Each structure stands twice: as structure tokens, then as C-alpha cells.
Amino acid sequence: MDTALVRLDTDGRLATDLTEQVRGFCARRGDGLCHVFVPHATAGLVVMETGSGSEEDLAALCARLLPRDDRYRHRHGSPGHGADHLVPALFSPSVTLPVIDGEVQLGTWQSVVLVDTNPDNPRRQVRLSFLADR
């Protein structure tokens, strides 16, 4: 299995598009599966359309489902940080994508997106792994 670690800074963005990093990693690798994993307790991954207001809709969804207030038992960090720790319960910390002839098989409007509501830690890592079809 081939693997690589992508380091990035979210700069406080809720949604960070990882599609080009995933495509670059898979290029020239043939057929197989690409596993994308976020080793963080306050981030997750989605496959979704970007642009056309989708990121704003995602932000509105997170605000409705994960309000940033004092209702959470997990209370260290910035106000509402307990909500950040629920992100992986709603957005999986991993996705697995089919790859054919080195091309990730995403739909026309699909992108691989890191969802990160945690303003306390903008430095993130994403583990990319490729399992070749043998």
C-alpha cells in the first residue's frame, strides 16, 4: 500500500477542497482504491459539490446542527468547542474512492472536502493511502 501525508492550514475555513491533492496522489497509480483519512477528533470528510453556494449551505447546516454555545459537556477551548468534537459523528473521518487507470472516479460535480469547525487548530493532516488492484 502506498501512502502519503498531506499537511495543510485551514486558515479558519469550514470547508477545504482536497480534490486536487487526491487526484495528484492517485495519478499514474493504476486501478485500486484511494482511502482518505483525517486523524483529528474535530474534523471530518465529505464528498460534495463545491461552489454555487454549497459551502455556505454547509456552514448553515453546521450552525443548525452544532451550535457554538455552552450546552456541551466537553468545555475546554473556545466557546462551543464541544460541538467541534461532534463533527466526526456527522462527517466521517474517512472516505474511500475508486480509482481507474490513475483517475479518481468522482462524479462531475463531486469534490473531496475536509470539514473543520475548530478555529483553535488550523493545522491539519490528511492521510492518503492507495491500495492497488492486484
Counts of helices then strands in the chain (DSSP H, E): 4, 8
- Host domain of residue 75: 2-132
Longest dimension (CA), the chain: 51
CB-based burial label for 118 (10 Å; 0-12, 13-18, 19+):
buried
The rounded distance, in Å, linking the Cα atoms of 90 and 88 is: 5
Query: pTM score, two decimals?
Result: 0.94
The rounded distance, in Å, linking the Cα atoms of 10 and 121 is: 9
The domain total for the chain is 1
Report the pLDDT value the prediction gives residue 53, as an integer from 0 to 100. 94
pLDDT tens, per residue, the chain with 134 residues: 999 999 999 998 999 999 999 999 999 999 999 999 999 999 999 999 999 899 999 999 999 999 999 898 887 878 889 999 999 999 999 999 999 999 999 999 999 999 999 988 899 999 999 999 97
Q: What is the CATH number of the domain that holds 115?
A: 2.60.120.460
User: In the 8-state DSSP scheme, what is residue 40?
Assistant: -
Report the pLDDT value the prediction gives residue 9, as an integer from 0 to 100. 95
User: In the 8-state DSSP scheme, what is residue 87?
Assistant: H
Report the pLDDT value the prediction gives residue 10, as an integer from 0 to 100. 94
